Structure 1
Amino acid sequence: MAAPEEQMAALSVADGAAAAEGGKPKKEKKEKKPKADKPKQGGGEGVKGEKKKETKLGLTAKKDGDFGEWFSQVVVESEMISYYDVSGCYILRPYSYAIWDEIKNWFDARIKELGVQNAYFPLFITEDVLMTEKEHVASFAPEVAWVTRSGSSDLERPIAIRPTSETVMYPYYAQWIRSHRDLPLRLNQWTNVVRWEFKHPTPFIRSREFLWQEGHTCFATKEEADAEVYQILDLYRCVYEELLAVPVMKGIKSSKEKFAGALYTTTVEAFIPQNGRGIQGATSHCLGQNFSKMFGIEFETEDKTRAHAWQNSWGLTTRSIGVMVMTHGDDKGVVIPPRVAQVQVVVIPIPQAKLGDEAAAAMKERAAAIADALKAAGVRVNTDTRDNYTPGWKYNYWELRGVPLRIELGPRDMEGGCAMLARRDTGAKESVAWGELAARVPALLDQIQSDLFTKARAAFDGCVETALTWDDFMAALDRKHMVLAPWCDEEEAEEEVKKKSASKEAMGAKTLCLPLEQPDLPEGTKCFVTGKPAKNWALWGRSY
């Protein structure tokens, strides 16, 4: 039911510092939605007795063809998201939110082991507080949404909706921290943020509201802050590589690409071979003392002097789900790694009418017994006993949703005391005796998890080229690859690369990161773009 006008608040979107200076907002780009809510494609038989009818299963776009359309279709048809009537905002349906739950539960347990505590801070930020750290807010200003009215009355001063929470939290850190005994202060919140993107919205990848965790910590020394930055960064690597089976490269952002106001930013970078784009997976920032000086976060040291705290912030978002879909999905639908799958195994009994009701009942009982045994072994199982759909339709249904393993139970299986296992990732099948399923299925799920990562790692590594000259650099970009190139580490050079590598067909390239594992840089190596002495190797690419 709609709320009465008196209870409604109006939002405006500020462009730059428009809320403070009266500027005009940018014009929104119209969001591209899938061509049809339900792309239709033949999937064999659907409802029993109705051959060759459209089943509303399957995708009309190909991953290696129209990648953007494929992604738009696959996240809708697999029931991961639904489009919402506010452009750039999406409903996370249970099938995708379950993946976020797995990520959240895993990561939350690890940061608590480090001594981080969860808290919650409000959604709204007053204008004066948001503007406290000018360099920081300038980078978010075009994306800040403002509440300007309450009911029919204009607010005396607009209130921002958080794009990130440094300016929300740090005034209170200044109140809570007085002595070295109050340190370290290590808080995290699981929450949503709003960034009113004007670029083309993409589900999970670039949305106006998204879920994330954001950690904000304070230490007495830089050494403590540095140590945490890399601890968190490796946890982010684990989320991608060990949970989502997505390979990433750990690195440091260039000065141009680092988080505004940070001393330095570390990152895990993923890559999508189909469109040749890098994608930032998660970041862990050392903020230095910049924010603590701005917000007055001071403490008395052990020797009775005054010092500013050393701070970090770090965040991981629901973008990770989209990266997973892009990495593993295929023309049949999504492919979900077992560790994050809401349903790891689906059991599908295949009764035949000619065998009679008694045989069908026995088959369903056996399917239930198999499911119970697997649940006891810690496997997340669903049993599909719907009798108004054919087995082929059910196979397509669960393949579209990416369930890692299917167990088929037919009349021959009942006679032989076995079941047929079918892998979602490779399609490989094997017959396993009932008594061995509780041991074989978990082992096979582990193998699927490992194989998905191995395949993705090979694709990632195959998309990294080394270039020493501009021509080689551009040739690699044209092959939709990332490029590892020697660089003078100057912002002007990075801007030059972005401009020179752009065309009508493709965006310009930028640094994705300076890899933590740096190849040898022989003395005398020149920057590939300026010819000046190279200071490091940088990973370049076109990106989201």
Structure 2
Amino acid sequence: MKQLEKITPQKEDFAKWYTDVIKNGDLMAYGATKGSIIFKPLSFGIWDNIRYNMDKEFKKNNIKNVYLPLLIPESLLQKEKDHLAGFNPELATVTEVGGKKLSEKYFIRPTSEVLFADLFKNEIESHNDLPILYNQWVNVLRWEKTTNPFLRTREFLWQEGHTMHANSLEAKDLTYSMLNVYKNFVEAYLAIPVLSGNKTEHEKFSGADFTLTIEAMMKDGKALQSGTSHYLGQNFTKAFGITFKNKNNEEEFAYGISFGISTRLLGALIMTHGDDRGIIIPPKIAPIQIDILEILANKDKHVHEVALEIFNKLSKKFSVSLDSSEKMPGFKAANSEIHGTPLRIEIGPKDTLKQQVILVRRDTLEKIICPLSSLEKTVKKLLIEIQNYLYLTAKDRLLNNFIEVTNYEEFKNAIQNGKWVIAPFEGTEEDEVKIKEETGASTRCIPFKSPITIKSKNCFYTGKKSNRIVVFARAY
């Protein structure tokens, strides 16, 4: 029987806590290649649910799934110089096959803009072919120097959407729409509140005219970019010659966008909801929503019969697991908690006599005595309550962690204390770089709507008047 190791408390060492939770929760194992991980059933089950439910949202927007090759020829990548420069330090290159040098280098995809651009060039002739709305669920490779499970690994899983349009207005509208799809999904399913807005020029995606982002706050106060949507304009279409004949029969360059989320969301989920007992998975995204634990069934065989009956009934509407092993009750409970199952049902000899079970919420650890006659109704109610509680708790934490500053000293103190700074900012890209070097904080976004009332009219860094409100935070 696997022994559960002690989890380092969050307040003692958050980074160590995160590693302990992942290790004890059977979420991943380290891959044979440095910087890679193996997604175990629990983490891949969460990702599977993300993929399944998100894909339904894409289909509502008429987005179709495709699959493009893993390798990108160097000659193709060279066509978009800004894009290549943005990824150059992370590119993994194939130069030899079967002991023979290749005549051209091939790069393992860090993203697929250039491959989609090459595809679109051959798909589009007239405005009647537009819009084209494609998406793919794939793995990508970026040779990161510093890695952290789920948050930053060299190989990871993601979704990348790429679309082509006949006019900029339609393309921009979809750029914003897809960010809203992400925001609504992450908040509704993962119970993670996010701040949405524009990236600054310094932080935008290489090759984009502008980038939109949703930013989530982890329990340690750091930000995690949780989804992005990029308006590419004609940057890629001009580089790749993607043209169409418009309604006036004139040749025109198409307008593109791209958007993506990744398995970083698993890290976001762990660090938003997890506690010192392990991960807590929101019911709407949990691979297993309910654990049924038989207590001392070896002393009373009737316990197993009742537990099996409950399992068969609940599994028609919920995702349920039944632990009928002879492991100790304390181990079973701790095992359920560390794996983040939203709700567990404990049933022992005394419970069967009273025609009841004990329900234990993973979020609050509250124990509820529930008659068998009202079990299904109570379970449904509790799962909704748990989902809402996780979201509202995280939302309170987010809103209470913003602070306005009026000068750089206040800024440095706020960042040092793990706050998200929100203030007018008129600094340059060079100023952003300097601020990050000195404080570790980067611009997270220019929010669409400020979460707090901003009183200052002047930039905290330059002192100049500014109407541009920017959020800074340390980030993963």
TM-score by length of 2: 0.97
Aligned position for 1:96: 43
Is the Cα–Cα contact under 8 Å of residues 299 and 307 in structure 1 kept in the other structure?
A: yes
Is the Cα–Cα contact under 8 Å of residues 344 and 403 in structure 1 kept in the other structure?
A: yes
Aligned position for 1:39: none
Give how far 1:451 is off: 0.2
User: Are 1:368 and 2:313 matched, yes or no?
Assistant: no
**Which residue of the other structure, out of 129, 132, 139, is the alignment partner of 1:192?**
139
Q: How does 1:213-232 map to 2 (within 5 A)?
A: 213-232=159-178
Q: Specify the SS of the correspondent of 2:224.
A: strand
Q: How does 1:8-407 map to 2 (within 5 A)?
A: 56-198=3-145, 200-274=146-220, 276-351=221-296, 360-376=300-316, 378-387=317-326, 389-407=327-345
Give how far 1:352 is off: 6.2
Give how far 1:535 is off: 3.0
Structure 2 Cα separation of the partners of residues 345 and 240 of structure 1: 22
Give how far 1:59 is off: 2.8
Structure 2 Cα separation of the partners of residues 352 and 180 of structure 1: 68
Q: Specify the SS of the correspondent of 1:492.
A: helix
Give how far 1:361 is off: 2.1
Taking only the aligned residue pairs, the percentage that are identical comes to: 37
Runs (4+) of structure 1 exceeding 6 A deviation are: 519-522
Paired AA for residue 240 in structure 1: V
Query: Structure 1 521/302 Cα, relative in aligned 2: closer, same or farther at 3 Å?
Result: farther
Structure 1 Cα separation of the partners of residues 348 and 436 of structure 2: 59
Q: Specify the SS of the correspondent of 2:309.
A: helix
Is the Cα–Cα contact under 8 Å of residues 59 and 70 in structure 1 kept in the other structure?
A: no
**Which residue of the other structure, out of 401, 412, 427, is the alignment partner of 1:474?**
412
Structure 1 Cα separation of the partners of residues 149 and 42 of structure 2: 14
Give how far 1:489 is off: 5.1
Structure 2 Cα separation of the partners of residues 371 and 400 of structure 1: 21
Paired AA for residue 107 in structure 1: M
Give how far 1:329 is off: 1.0
Give how far 1:496 is off: 3.1
**Which residue of the other structure, out of 447, 463, 466, is the alignment partner of 1:534?**
466
TM-score by length of 1: 0.85
Q: Specify the SS of the correspondent of 1:496.
A: helix
| CA deviation profile, 1:374-423 (whole Å, cap 9, x unmatched) | 122x1111110001x11111111111101111111122211111111011
Structure 2 Cα separation of the partners of residues 412 and 455 of structure 1: 35
Is the Cα–Cα contact under 8 Å of residues 350 and 410 in structure 1 kept in the other structure?
A: yes
Give how far 1:273 is off: 3.4
Aligned position for 1:517: 449
Structure 2 Cα separation of the partners of residues 271 and 468 of structure 1: 23
Is the Cα–Cα contact under 8 Å of residues 59 and 331 in structure 1 kept in the other structure?
A: no
Give how far 1:152 is off: 1.5
Structure 1: tracts of 5 or more residues without a match: 1-46, 48-54, 503-507
Is the Cα–Cα contact under 8 Å of residues 296 and 329 in structure 2 kept in the other structure?
A: no
Query: What is the RMSD computed on CA atoms of the aligned residues?
Result: 1.5
Q: Specify the SS of the correspondent of 1:426.
A: coil
| CA deviation profile, 1:171-211 (whole Å, cap 9, x unmatched) | 1201110100000001000001000001x210000000000
Give how far 1:141 is off: 0.3
Is the Cα–Cα contact under 8 Å of residues 198 and 212 in structure 2 kept in the other structure?
A: yes
Paired AA for residue 74 in structure 1: V
Give how far 1:430 is off: 0.8
Give how far 1:119 is off: 0.4
Paired AA for residue 453 in structure 1: Y
Give how far 1:91 is off: 0.3
Aligned position for 1:9: none
Is the Cα–Cα contact under 8 Å of residues 427 and 461 in structure 2 kept in the other structure?
A: no
Query: Structure 1 341/323 Cα, relative in aligned 2: closer, same or farther at 3 Å?
Result: same
Paired AA for residue 525 in structure 1: K
Paired AA for residue 330 in structure 1: D
Structure 1 Cα separation of the partners of residues 251 and 147 of structure 2: 47
Q: Specify the SS of the correspondent of 1:379.
A: coil
Structure 2: tracts of 5 or more residues without a match: none
Q: Specify the SS of the correspondent of 1:139.
A: helix
Structure 2 Cα separation of the partners of residues 158 and 298 of structure 1: 28
Matched positions, count: 475
Q: Specify the SS of the correspondent of 2:34.
A: coil
Aligned position for 1:465: 403
